[in-house]
Amino acid sequence: MGNFQRFLITTAVALILPATSLSASEIRVGFTADALTLDPANHRNRETETIIRNMHDGLLTRDPDMKVVPEIAKSWTQTSPTAFEFKIRQGIKFHDGSDLTVEDVKFTLDRLTVEGAMGDGQTSPRKSLLGPVKDIEIVGDDTIRINLNEPWPLLPAMLPFQEFVSKAFVEKVGTAGMATAENGAGPFKLVEWRKGDSIIMERFDDYYGGSPDIAPVGKACVDRVIFKIMPETASRVAALLAGDVDIINSLPPFSIAQVEQNPNTAVMTVNGTRSVFLALNLKGDKFDDIKVRQAVAHALDKQLIIDKILGGNAVSIEGILSPAAFASTPDLPKHEYDPEKAKALLAEAGFADGIDITIDAEGADKDTVEAIASVLAKSGIRAKVAIGESAMIDAKWSPKNDKNDGDIYFTSWGNGSLDPFDIFVPTHYTMGRGNASGYSNKEVDALLDQGAIELDPAKRAALYQQAEAIVNAELPYIYLWVPKDIYGVSKRLKGWKPSADSRINLHDACVE
């Protein structure tokens, strides 16, 4: 790259960033997507949660190793199969200076779980994330009890995804006002949201310090944080290389070498929690035959694509669960790459001349899906790649759409809790909200029902492992890989490392 080209890139990046100079007390994040809202109860979006979680804390959180630890709660106990009690830490303040109390905790949980609690008949889209919560009781000045309709051992693992709000503030601004306003109890407070451009935060000096299990405890290291919205990959990489941002998310594998070769930047990775798979339309006239599904599995050289397209930054899977998830099965049978076996299976299914199919995918996945199509062609599976908008493809492949005439959908499902309930149920339970293949197996449904309420961890794991063995054999999906999350970082950044749940937690991050 010539000097003039470098000048143009640096100038362009400078023009799109807020007009403030980098300093030792400021961190800038080049981020793929703007927040959809600032209301913690009114979204189901990881990028939105990443931004919000720097301004709001939860009852519980996760340490860098994904262990669930106390945050606003100082401790918790399961008092019965259907009840958990949480002791609330004293001395926590919201950004407006008011004290966080058990009333705020109950109000937040009610707002998340009670039908119509958000006003005008609106129910939080996050309600299902808290499963069979029945009600919330205040049982003391510093204690709340969460009652469940049935045993649900997953509750503590799901609470780190819920951020807590001030009852008085919500009642003052209303649900509409919460979309753009903020009064959390987290390490940073909102300065300004320039929609589509940036979200600017500053350190909250009265912060209580965060979880005592995550050192260092105390107020944030830096004075200021900016999430700069940069959906274009080239722009994010250019900004990092020019020193205009300190962290970028979703660094593509093809940019890793460029970032590593720059003297001022480095690459950081973490095992992700999103399983990637091909949904096969079981209601169509091809994939209702298991031999055709098996043919696709044997026609796909997953490791080649992981190595060549993903730069080795993924781990292959044979079932829906990440190897890091609770109850994952390490020795599931593998469907090895074998083009001749794939052709033979197609012939046995009545497709001796091969089959013509279409793979639906979003634009960001175009290169990967085209590589998949190229590999499948070697086995007589001639695939056309159809790129579409997320909302349209999701609607087409919704389990509620009986008119879906698609063949294959390249998709994924996040599992930030690393618990089977959070991914297995939506994707494999009959009419589950993410069951794109239309899969239905009464035995699997029964195992998932039992796993949701079983309190003994060993028995619970066995139920999910039995279910995964069944779907590994029946192949309603071709299970592909769990990709690593890849970040580019400035070498002046200290005290930060990526988290498997995709959070960019900047409380402990410093810059030289």
Q: What is the pLDDT along the chain (512 residues), one digit of tens a residue?
A: 444 344 334 444 444 444 444 444 999 999 999 999 999 999 999 999 999 999 999 999 999 888 999 999 999 999 999 999 999 999 999 999 999 999 999 999 999 999 999 999 999 999 999 999 999 999 999 999 999 999 999 999 999 999 999 999 999 999 999 999 999 999 999 999 999 999 999 999 999 999 999 999 999 999 999 999 999 999 999 999 999 999 999 999 999 999 999 999 999 999 899 999 999 999 999 999 999 999 999 999 999 999 999 999 999 999 999 999 999 998 999 999 999 999 999 999 999 999 999 999 998 899 999 999 999 999 999 999 999 998 899 999 999 999 999 999 999 999 999 999 999 999 999 999 999 999 999 999 999 999 999 999 999 999 999 999 999 999 999 999 999 999 999 999 999 999 988 889 999 999 98
Q: Quick one: tokens of 383?
A: 């695939």
Q: Which of 444, 445, 451 minimizes the C-alpha distance to 421? A: 451
What is the reported pLDDT for 390? 87
Question: How far is 262 from 256, CA to CA, in rounded Å?
Answer: 10
β-strand 477-490 against 247-248: which pairing, if any? antiparallel
CATH of region 3-264+491-511, choose from 3.30.70.330, 3.40.50.1370, 3.30.1330.30, 3.40.190.10 = 3.40.190.10
- Write down the domain spans for the chain: 3-264+491-511, 274-484
Return phi, psi of residue 346, to 5°: -60, -40
Triad 41, 45, 47: Cα angle to 5°:
115
pTM for this structure?
0.84
Neighbours of 7 (CB within 10 A): 10
**How far is C-alpha 336 from the chain's CA centre?**
29
DSSP-derived secondary structure letter, 333: P
Length, in residues, of the chain:
512
Burial class (CB within 10 angstroms; exposed 0-12, middle 13-18, buried 19+) of 455: exposed
The residues, any chain, with a CB within 8 Å of residue 332's CB and separated by 6 or more, are 318, 319, 468, 469, 472
Q: Quick one: tokens of 21?
A: 């100079």
What is the reported pLDDT for 501? 85
Question: How far is 111 from 125, CA to CA, in rounded Å?
Answer: 11
The residues, any chain, with a CB within 8 Å of residue 427's CB and separated by 6 or more, are 320, 413, 434, 435, 436, 477
Q: Quick one: tokens of 446?
A: 């029964």
CATH of region 274-484, choose from 3.20.20.80, 3.10.105.10, 3.90.79.10, 3.20.20.120 = 3.10.105.10
Neighbours of 218 (CB within 10 A): 13
Q: Quick one: tokens of 48?
A: 């939105």
Q: Quick one: tokens of 277?
A: 């798979």
- Residue 508, SS3 per DSSP: coil
Q: Do 274-484 and 3-264+491-511 fall under one CATH topology? A: no
The residues, any chain, with a CB within 8 Å of residue 274's CB and separated by 6 or more, are 412, 413, 414, 415, 482, 483
What is the reported pLDDT for 20? 43
